[in-house]
Amino acid sequence: MRLLGIGEIARLLDVERGTVGQWRFRKLLPPPDQQLQVTPAWWDSTIRAWAMSTGRLDIEHWDATIKRMEKADDNRRRIEAGRRRAGRTQERDEMIEEDGKR
């Protein structure tokens, strides 16, 4: 399960962000499952069920978009892990350098 904001919902349903905003304003979207500070968020299962019940769901597009989103998440995690490792290596090198100066 993943939380979705208005942008992700727009991507998954292949509509403009403004369309999703209008659905929310007109109370056509279900109430948000979470509120992240001022940002509403819905579980993907909530939006999928709503989209299916309203005829707005293109399952092939949804599934392909979810796969792209998951791949992007995986890539982001790999990059962050590499940065953390690089940071630890840099810290270790700086500590060794400092020890050598003493």
Entry pTM: 0.75
- Tell me what pLDDT residue 85 has: 79
Beta strands across the sheet bearing 34-36: 3-4, 39-43, 34-36
- Given a contact cutoff of 8 angstroms between Cβ atoms, the answer to whether 61 and 69 are in contact is no
The answer to whether residue 53 scores a pLDDT higher than 80 is yes
> What does the pLDDT average to over 39-46?
96
Tell me the three state secondary structure of residue 42: strand
The answer to whether residue 96 scores a pLDDT higher than 70 is no
> What does the pLDDT average to over 14-29?
97
pLDDT, mean over the chain = 90
